[in-house]
Amino acid sequence: MRPLDPRLLRYAHAARRFLLIGALLGFAQTLVVIAFAWLLTRAITLTVAGEPLSTIMPTLAALAGVVVLRSVLIWLLEVAANRGAAQVKSQLRARVMVKLAERGPDWVASQQSARLSTVVTTGLDALDNYFARYLPQLLLTMIATPILIAVIAWQDLASGLTVIIVIPLIPIFMILIGKVTQSVQQEQWQALQRLSTGFLDVVGGLGTLKIYGRERRQFDRIRSITEEYRTRTMTVLRVSFLSGFVLELAASLSVALIAVSIGLRLIDGALLLGVGLFVLLLAPEAFLPLRQVGAQFHAAADGLAAAEELFAILDDDSIATVPAVSTADAAAGANLGAPVADQLGSAAGSLRLAGFTVRRGDTVVIDQLHAEFSPGELSVLRGVSGVGKSTLVAALLGFVPYVGALTLGGVAVAPGASRPWLAWAGQQPGLVRGTVAENVALGAASAQPATIMQALDWAGAADVAPVTVLGVNGDGLSGGQAQRVAAARAIYRAIATDCHVLILDEPSSALDSEAEAGLLAGLRHLADQGRVVIVVSHRPAVIAAADHVLDLQELIHV
């Protein structure tokens, strides 16, 4: 766990801006501290010398101005830290969401959803303490401490040497304490993840647990994990308080050592009062940033631990984005002179697959598939469970690497390219909190009410009011209604952005015959507009309405 991870600067440009602003404010604050010590020393020495108040007043006025200026600089540094934290969190969240989108649903499904949610939400929120408390003190340590030590040594070499000899003890204590803190903090973070995962699993299966009378056992399990997390948290707090006490003790003894030395030399007359008082005022300020770094390290530990996991997601290229198609593969399904397009708009034409092979690890799921889906036709993919229907859809969406050629209207589509020409709805509705209209127009720059109504009608969901407010995961709708709203979302995208290809994965599995007929009628309208409409289904009514049926055969692996 490094104090300042270079990856933070690489992935969040706002961190660089904050470091620059923080360095400038830290330098200004250091100059103000020196000015404060000098003015206070001068005011005291003038008072001891018996100077009249009129002589002391300009110094006192300057001292008051310096105090106000120091307060303003501290406030500005805090504002910069809070704004920097907000911008960095926003940039990191955006990057990790883009990375998750590049990895695709297969990779996300292989991870613990609670872990990813905890890292991206609660974990990143803990960076507030890192930026607001820890990083400003780290900057002051790097800027203020060397300057203050140099000023102390310039005024009194003996005190300067004492500070130079004593101050390394604090980082030594910090390193020793930091190792213990890192260990207990990591255990606490893992306990939080176990608690999040366990709670999410229980909530997801609560109905089943209730039916079989096992909900009490899960209650005891959650209580056990919660108790473990509480114990870990108290351990972290105990280590934090003890380490803070050790650092404060070391710094206090160091300042006391300098004070005793200055006092003895003042008595002997070997040191002037003004010099001794000035050095004595600066000594605690020299130790203060380093002490605060140690104290605030614990407040920032949660954010650093979460950032480590987030950086691991961003750095891990073991599951890279889908590789680019080779020229030979592209030419297999298109003319040799056809371009390889990174982005296709609403290009018309057939969607063709040539020598299309998809692997899952070492297993070949789809082997040398040749198929063509024509515009104006309702095409159906069918096959037994596990034959590779969803895998084929994931490959068409660009989430799964493949070998072979995929062309649209004779133009080769690169596997890693975006798909602005494609609209899709999966087996899970994936609805979010908000109105039905907001779910249907999800991601659109501006909603089109007439198109929303048309999409709902063509999805067989004309009975679902667009103003209906949904809860999390579409709470408030039945399973069939949620499925039709999800289909309406894909239909809305196809109409609003003129997508040439529409793919629906099991869109009617939870629908009755009447609702299914309404959906099929809507899909027929889309096909009649010249679109390629592909439906993954084994339902008799869907197969009967199809113009083209592609049977996927199960591969036999010996």
- The DSSP secondary structure of 515-553, one letter per residue, reads HHHHHHHHHHHHHHTT-EEEEE---HHHHHH-SEEEEPP
Helix H or strand E segment including 201: helix 169-204
Residues 4/142, Cβ–Cβ less than 8 Å: no
Helix H or strand E segment including 510: none
Return the pLDDT at 173: 65
Look up tokens 């020229």; give the residue: 327
d(CA 427, CA 25) in angstroms, rounded, equals 54
Percentage of residues in the chain having pLDDT higher than 90: 20
Mean pLDDT, residues 227-235 taken together: 73
Q: If DSSP codes are grouped into helix, strand and coil, which group holds residue 356? A: strand
Return the pLDDT at 321: 44
**Tens digits of per-residue pLDDT, 400-420?**
888 888 999 888 887 777 788
CB count within 10 Å of CB 511 equals 23
Percentage of residues in the chain having pLDDT higher than 70: 78
Mean pLDDT, residues 137-153 taken together: 86
Mean pLDDT of the chain: 80
CA-based nearest residue to 381, from 245, 553, 215, 140: 553
Look up tokens 């949620």; give the residue: 482
Q: If DSSP codes are grouped into helix, strand and coil, which group holds residue 414? A: coil
Return the pLDDT at 326: 39
pLDDT for residue 346 is more than 60: no
Return the pLDDT at 204: 66
Token code pair at residue 321: 């984005």
d(CA 494, CA 491) in angstroms, rounded, equals 5
Q: What is the DSSP string of 35-46?
A: HHHHHHHHHHHH
Return the pLDDT at 367: 85
What confidence category does residue 444 fall into, taking pLDDT thresholds of 50, 70 and 90? confident
Dump strand ranges (E) for 361-447: 363-373, 378-382, 402-408, 411-413, 422-425, 434-435
Q: Which residues contact 38 (CB under 8 A, 6 or more apart)?
A: 278
Look up tokens 């609209």; give the residue: 423
* Identity of the highest mean pLDDT range in 169-183, 344-358, 509-523: 509-523
d(CA 69, CA 67) in angstroms, rounded, equals 5
CA 437 vs CA 150, 339, 416, 420, 526: distances in Å: 66, 38, 31, 21, 20
Mean pLDDT, residues 279-308 taken together: 75
d(CA 174, CA 254) in angstroms, rounded, equals 15
Return the pLDDT at 297: 67
What confidence category does residue 428 fall into, taking pLDDT thresholds of 50, 70 and 90? confident
What confidence category does residue 310 fall into, taking pLDDT thresholds of 50, 70 and 90? confident
What confidence category does residue 528 fall into, taking pLDDT thresholds of 50, 70 and 90? very high
Return the pLDDT at 556: 42
Please tell me the least confidently modeled range out of 59-73, 387-401, 496-510: 387-401
pLDDT for residue 380 is more than 70: yes
Q: What pTM, to 2 d.p., does this model score?
A: 0.61
d(CA 127, CA 303) in angstroms, rounded, equals 4
Mean pLDDT, residues 181-205 taken together: 66
**Tens digits of per-residue pLDDT, 313-340?**
787 665 444 443 333 333 333 333 344 4
More confident residue, 41 or 167: 41
d(CA 313, CA 306) in angstroms, rounded, equals 11
Q: Which residues contact 147 (CB under 8 A, 6 or more apart)?
A: 30, 34
More confident residue, 544 or 165: 544
Residue 273's Cβ-count burial label (10 Å; 0-12, 13-18, 19+) is middle
d(CA 538, CA 381) in angstroms, rounded, equals 8
More confident residue, 303 or 504: 504
Mean pLDDT, residues 339-361 taken together: 70
Residues 508/519, Cβ–Cβ less than 8 Å: yes
CA-based nearest residue to 461, from 514, 533, 540, 527: 514
Token code pair at residue 304: 């650093």
What confidence category does residue 484 fall into, taking pLDDT thresholds of 50, 70 and 90? very high
Antiparallel, parallel or unpaired: β 548-551 and 378-382: parallel
CB count within 10 Å of CB 51 equals 13
**Tens digits of per-residue pLDDT, 386-397?**
788 888 888 888
Antiparallel, parallel or unpaired: β 411-413 and 402-408: antiparallel
What residue type is 97 in one-letter code? M
Longest CA span, the chain: 108
**Tens digits of per-residue pLDDT, 246-263?**
767 777 777 888 888 888
Helix H or strand E segment including 168: none
pLDDT for residue 501 is more than 80: yes
d(CA 237, CA 297) in angstroms, rounded, equals 12
Helix H or strand E segment including 152: helix 135-155
Please tell me the least confidently modeled range out of 33-42, 117-126, 190-199, 399-408: 190-199
d(CA 142, CA 135) in angstroms, rounded, equals 11
What residue type is 460 in one-letter code? G
Residues 43/56, Cβ–Cβ less than 8 Å: yes
Look up tokens 């969901």; give the residue: 461
Return the pLDDT at 186: 64
Residue 57's Cβ-count burial label (10 Å; 0-12, 13-18, 19+) is exposed
User: What b-and-e string marks burial along 299-308, b requiring 16 or more CB atoms within 10 Å of the CB?
Assistant: bbbbbbbbbb
pLDDT for residue 525 is more than 70: yes
Mean pLDDT, residues 296-314 taken together: 71
CA 280 vs CA 6, 46, 147, 256, 328: distances in Å: 37, 17, 15, 10, 78
d(CA 537, CA 508) in angstroms, rounded, equals 8
d(CA 420, CA 250) in angstroms, rounded, equals 63
CB-side exposure of 143: number of CA atoms within 13 Å?
20
Domains and CATH numbers, the chain: 6-315 (1.20.1560.10), 327-551 (3.40.50.300)
Mean pLDDT, residues 507-519 taken together: 89
Dihedral-angle region of residue 420 (phi above 0 means left; psi in -120 to 50 means alpha; beta otherwise): alpha
More confident residue, 501 or 89: 501
Residues forming beta bridges with residue 535, ordered by sequence position: 380, 504
Helix H or strand E segment including 352: strand 351-360
Return the pLDDT at 339: 43
Mean pLDDT, residues 135-148 taken together: 85
